[in-house]
Amino acid sequence: MLGPLEIHQPATAAEAAELRARLGDDAAIYAGGSELLLAMKEGLGRWRHLIDVKTVGELHDLREDGGALAIGAAVTHRRLERSPLVGARWPLLRETEAQVANVRVRAVGTLGGNLCFGEPHSDPPTALLVLDARVVLRGPRAERALPLAAFLVGSYETALGGDEVLVRVEVPEPPAGAVGAYLKFGFHERPTVGVAALVVPAGHLVREARLAVGCLGPTPARLPRLEARLAGAALAELERGVDCRDGGFAELDVVSDLHGSAEYKREVAAVLAGRALSACAARARRAA
Amino acid sequence: MTTVRAPGFVLETTVNGAPVRVPIDPGELLLDVLRERLGLRGTKRSCEVQVCGACTVLLDEVPVSACTLLAYEARGRRVETIEGLAREGRLHPVQQAFLDASAFQCGYCTPGMVLAVKALLEERPDASTDEAKTWLRGNICRCTGYASILDAVATARRFMDGRAATAG
């Protein structure tokens, strides 16, 4: 047993934020529990109160809103994986969500919980970074929005205030014709390295390329130097495979961990980046 | 806003088709409630971190890890464990398929495997072997090996097709 516990069931995000402000460090936000309950079982955290944000209706919304996908914080990975809307218009997100952990974790784990936990070895944040996602946080008085990159501060660390709750994630629709790919590699349940790529073609050339790499360091990161180099490249060249090893991995904050040395993880990331770009180019050619 | 706490919190749920009312602390895990309070020991405790799948049960027909789920989440929902599959002395087609394919050795992972396969074939009756492999990524077997388990999936798919045809 993890208790004794009291579980609070707020009806609104504002109520959840007020509870956080009132209960302070004695309370944790609880959604799917796939991260939180593990931490509690391992004794890494102990809370007397859980604030079950799944009782907040708007946190289950999943809809298009003004050209962006609005994902309520309590929407599960499984819903994102199976949503026809996500599959049709945000296929990179669908492809990533389908690769999260296993079917049981996806059934209960939520996107909001995943982001708020700040686990460095995670899949969705990497894809959301190339999709230019932002998060909307609700405090006791008002909402504020932050780019995802500003929300993810460090290892298990986010910009979420002590009196705030994550309400939704907003994902702009990618530019017309954009093709994406998410590739991961790992021997453990969590990914060793994950790479997301998004390529916007213009004829047989690359108009814009976006790349993000996850799990190397405390937070996922975009690769602006490589992105700039790829603009204007031929799709055929991408499909054959570009060498990404000098793509800016040396400048990233890379951590040696259970999954491998920093040197090894950089090398895997460069290989996956090349393959992800190749997959995008192949998909773009088939779509043309 | 409501707060649930012990004493006073009574979990009302459905387990293997039967209504269940059991007073619990909201901090109790579903695995403990099933095994210790309801005596359903077919659901196994193993990795405790949602990796191995030995504790797989179905919650509203979807596989979940009973080891990392508060029993509180089962309120008003349907839980299915391995004990609920056989009907009137007849094994469920997935159970029969595991027997026919000799898809177990020590059997510790089998309840979770069977429930995961049942959920897969109910969601996607024509699931390919590749889809089955992906679906079962979260169910680990350390002795039989996976080939016979995938054989069992193929056998179960035929059994369940046949059952649907008979029912139709």
Per residue in A154-207, pLDDT tens? 999 999 999 999 999 999 999 999 999 999 999 888 999 999 999 999 999 999
- Residue A8 β-bridge partners: A51, B3
Q: Which residue has the tokens 């090398």?
A: A267
* Nearest chain A Cα distance for residue B82, angstroms: 16
Per residue in B28-41, pLDDT tens? 999 999 999 999 99
Measure Cα distances from A199 to A134, A280, B33, B77, B114 in Å.
20, 6, 50, 43, 41
Per residue in B52-66, pLDDT tens? 999 999 999 999 999
Tokens of B52: 């191995």
Nearest CA in chain B to A8: B3
Tokens of B149: 């388990």
Question: Which residue in A5, A53, A95, A103 has the most chain B C-beta atoms within 10 A of its own C-beta, making it the best mutation to test that interface?
Answer: A103
Instruction: Count CA atoms within 13 Å of residue A23 on its CB side.
Output: 19
Question: How much is the CA Rg of chain B, to the nearest whole Å?
Answer: 16
Question: Which residue in A41, A104, A123, A184 has the most chain B C-beta atoms within 10 A of its own C-beta, making it the best mutation to test that interface?
Answer: A104
Q: Which residue has the tokens 């072997």?
A: B129
User: Could you give the residue ranges of the DSSP H alpha helices within A164-261?
Assistant: 224-230, 235-240
- Three-state SS for A263-284 is HHHHHHHHHHHHHHHHHHHHHH
**Helix B110-123 / helix B93-100 crossing angle, nearest 10 deg:** 120
Q: Which residues of B touch A (CB under 8 A)?
A: 1-6, 25-29, 32, 48-51, 53, 56, 59, 62-65, 68-70, 72-73, 116, 119, 135, 137-139
% of chain A exceeding 90 in pLDDT: 93
Chain B contact for A62, CB < 8 A?
no
| The A27-30 sheet, strands edge to edge | A27-30, A49-52, A6-9, B2-4
Domains of chain B as residue ranges with CATH: 10-84 (3.10.20.30), 93-167 (1.10.150.120)
Task: Pick B144 or B25 by higher pLDDT.
Answer: B25
Instruction: Count CA atoms within 13 Å of residue A44 on its CB side.
Output: 9
List CB contacts (< 8 A) between B32 and chain A.
1
CA distance A75 to A47: 24
In this model, does residue A146 exceed pLDDT 90? yes
Query: Would you call A14 helix, strand, or coil by DSSP?
Result: helix
A49-52 and A27-30: which strand pairing? Answer: parallel
Greatest extent of chain B over all pairs of C-alpha atoms, in Å: 52
Return the minimum-mean-pLDDT range out of A98-102, A145-149, B6-10: B6-10
In this model, does residue A11 exceed pLDDT 80? yes
Q: Report ipTM (2 d.p.).
A: 0.95
* pTM for the structure as a whole: 0.96
Q: Which residue has the tokens 């780019």?
A: A147
In this model, does residue B167 exceed pLDDT 60? no
List CB contacts (< 8 A) between B61 and chain A.
none
In this model, does residue B164 exceed pLDDT 90? no
CA distance B41 to B26: 21
Look at residue A48 in the predicted model and tell me its pLDDT. 96
Q: Where are the beta strands (DSSP E) in chain B?
A: 2-4, 10-15, 18-23, 56-59, 62-65, 78-80
* Nearest chain A Cα distance for residue B23, angstroms: 13
Q: Which residue has the tokens 């602006």?
A: A224
Question: Which residue in B5, B37, B44 has the most chain A C-beta atoms within 10 A of its own C-beta, making it the best mutation to test that interface?
Answer: B5
Evaluate whether A197 touches A126 at the Cβ level (below 8 Å): no
Chain B contact for A10, CB < 8 A?
yes
Chain A to chain B, count of Cβ pairs less than 8 Å apart? Answer: 97
Per residue in B119-135, pLDDT tens? 999 999 999 999 999 99
Chain B contact for A155, CB < 8 A?
no
% of chain B exceeding 90 in pLDDT: 92
Look at residue A64 in the predicted model and tell me its pLDDT. 97
List CB contacts (< 8 A) between A16 and chain B.
none
CB atoms within 10 A of CB A264: 14
Handedness of CA A255, A261, A266, A272 (dihedral sign): negative
B68/A107 CB distance under 8 A: no
Nearest CA in chain B to A53: B1
CA distance B157 to B149: 12
Per residue in B128-159, pLDDT tens? 999 999 999 999 999 988 999 999 999 999 99
Query: Would you call B145 helix, strand, or coil by DSSP?
Result: coil
Nearest CA in chain B to A15: B1
Chain B contact for A9, CB < 8 A?
yes
CB atoms within 10 A of CB B110: 23
Sequence-ordered list of residues with C-beta below 8 angstroms from that of A42, at least 6 positions apart, any chain: none
Facing residue for A2 by CB, picked from B2, B4, B29 = B29
Question: Which residue in A1, A54, A188 has the most chain B C-beta atoms within 10 A of its own C-beta, making it the best mutation to test that interface?
Answer: A1
Look at residue B168 in the predicted model and tell me its pLDDT. 46
A15/B50 CB distance under 8 A: no
% of chain A exceeding 70 in pLDDT: 100
A157 sits in which H/E element = strand A157-158
A7/B68 CB distance under 8 A: no
**Helix B110-123 / helix B146-167 crossing angle, nearest 10 deg:** 50
Look at residue B2 in the predicted model and tell me its pLDDT. 93
Tokens of B166: 């008979």
Mean pLDDT, chain A, rounded, equals 96
